[in-house]
């Protein structure tokens, strides 16, 4: 009987090891902008103002709160939207972190995401480096997600969203 119970326990353990859910994915991009940190920070520091420089967005609106708990609603070009919330904000460090508060996989193929944005001095006297990194889970957290909500789709979407935003910011500040 003891061997039977041990065998059954081993079988349960091996099946639970085979079953898997989503794993966290990551994206990180940086851009050098030919502008001083103060000018770049001025363009990105207001959490609600992302719509002024991010080309993938039709609109961005928020509560105007640049502190933990501040929220914004992003509306994408396809008309779908998500809500994000600030977790951390530091004016002296020129950085903030936020997370997805209300998901909408039709707008963006992640079930959750956190994003960190930081502006730092570049190599030149009047240059800055903006780094955006994100950690996220795919849109469908089941074991067999459809292709449009898979890890690959989430990585592609997040990476492209970050790249597009950084390109839009660079274009706005270097014109």
pLDDT in tens, 61-99: 999 999 999 999 999 999 999 999 999 999 999 999 999
The pLDDT of residue 17 is above 50: no
Give backbone dihedrals phi and psi of 104, rounded to 5 degrees, phi first: -160, 100
* Residues near 61 by beta carbon (within 8 Å), at least 6 away in sequence: 48, 51, 72, 73
Please tell me the distance from the alpha carbon of residue 68 to that of residue 72, in angstroms, as a whole number: 12
Of the given ranges (6-15, 30-39, 121-130), which has the lowest mean pLDDT?
A: 6-15
**How much is the pLDDT for 102?**
87
Compare 65 and 8 and report the one with higher pLDDT. Answer: 65
How many Cβ atoms are within 10 Å of 129's Cβ, its own excluded? 16
Please tell me the distance from the alpha carbon of residue 172 to that of residue 111, in angstroms, as a whole number: 30
**Residue from 84, 99, 86, 103 nearest 141 by CA:** 103
The pLDDT of residue 11 is above 80: no
b or e along 143-168 (b: 16 or more beta carbons within 10 Å of the residue's beta carbon)?
eebeeebbbebbbebbbebbeebbeb
Nearest-5° Cα angle at 133, 173 to 109: 105
**How much is the pLDDT for 14?**
45
pLDDT, mean of residues 139-149: 94
Architecture of domain 23-174: 2-Layer Sandwich (3.30)
Tens of pLDDT, residue by residue over 156-169, are: 999 999 999 999 99
Cα separations (Å) of 2 from 7, 11, 93? Answer: 9, 14, 61
Q: How confident is the model at residue 110 (pLDDT cuts 50, 70, 90)?
A: very high
Of the given ranges (2-6, 54-58, 62-66), which has the lowest mean pLDDT?
A: 2-6
């Amino acid at each position: 009987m003891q061997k039977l119970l041990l065998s059954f326990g081993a079988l349960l353990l091996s099946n639970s090891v085979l079953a898997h859910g989503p794993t966290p994915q990551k994206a990180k991009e940086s851009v050098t902008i030919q502008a001083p940190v103060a000018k770049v920070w001025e363009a990105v520091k207001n959490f609600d103002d992302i719509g002024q420089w991010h080309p993938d967005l039709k609109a961005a609106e928020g509560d105007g709160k640049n502190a933990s708990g501040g929220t914004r609603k992003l509306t994408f070009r396809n008309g779908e939207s998500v809500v994000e919330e600030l977790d951390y904000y530091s004016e002296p460090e020129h950085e903030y972190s936020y997370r997805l508060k209300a998901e909408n996989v039709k707008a963006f193929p992640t079930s959750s995401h956190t994003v960190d944005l930081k502006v730092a001095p570049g190599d030149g006297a009047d240059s800055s480096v903006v780094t955006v990194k994100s950690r996220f889970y795919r849109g469908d957290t089941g074991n067999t997600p459809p292709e449009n909500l898979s890890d690959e789709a989430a990585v592609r979407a997040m990476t492209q969203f970050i790249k597009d935003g950084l390109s839009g910011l660079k274009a706005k500040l270097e014109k």
